[in-house]
Chains A and B, each alone.
Chain A
């Protein structure tokens, strides 16, 4: 059974740029959730994707957007990067039915300078 994978591991971007982060879900999972974790904080829910559609969104602006593909993998896109976007971005997969049982990837550490 393959776990959740994310790429890239680390990324450095300049303010105003755009970034795309990628996630492959665990085998058998059809739901992907994205979280932002600032240093010293718990993960904050960004949004969730199920059947290639957004299925719930946290308190994040529209410049945070995503996609889910037919193989259940997902992308997180962030436009017009701000310094405060520097964080660990985590992807978690689950089944729709057992959405509370989420398994996380190792994360992508984004630094905005």
Chain B
């Protein structure tokens, strides 16, 4: 079993819809949970990070962590075509960051 599992998609949703992206993990030692956005042929861009279980909101983005279920989510409200990208979940362990495979998201105009 991989430490971090993420559905690669692609996920296609109409503009304005709420997007839900998810990851599961197996290692309870993970402390911080991050979401990155990566456009084609670019480096990943840090969107948000959280430490504890619960929700964290930043503009149209909400990150949710459920440590009891080892499950994290990223919600995007009022999705825009410019949100089309690959979204990577990531978690840290011993100063290392472990990434999921990424989910390709397409927002349809």
Contact = CB atoms under 8 A, between A and B. Distances in A.
Nearest to A101: B49
B99 A55 contact: no
A90 to B, nearest CB: 6
A109 B42 CA distance: 10
Q: How large is the interface on A (under 10, 10 to 19, 20 to 34, 35 or more residues)?
A: 20 to 34
Contacts of B18: none
A90 B46 CA distance: 14
Given A42-B6, A42-B102, A100-B32, A33 B97 contact: yes
Interface residues of B, number: 26
B101 interface: yes
Nearest to A58: B96
Nearest to B8: A40
A56 B43 contact: no
B94 interface: yes
Given A33-B97, A41-B101, A100 B92 contact: yes
B44 interface: yes
Interface of A: 4, 33, 35, 40-45, 48, 55-56, 58, 90, 92, 99-107, 109
23 contacts: A40-B101, A41-B101, A41-B102, A42-B99, A42-B101, A43-B88, A43-B97, A43-B99, A45-B96, A45-B97, A45-B98, A48-B95, A55-B95, A58-B96, A100-B31, A100-B34, A100-B49, A103-B46, A104-B43, A104-B44, A104-B46, A105-B43, A106-B42
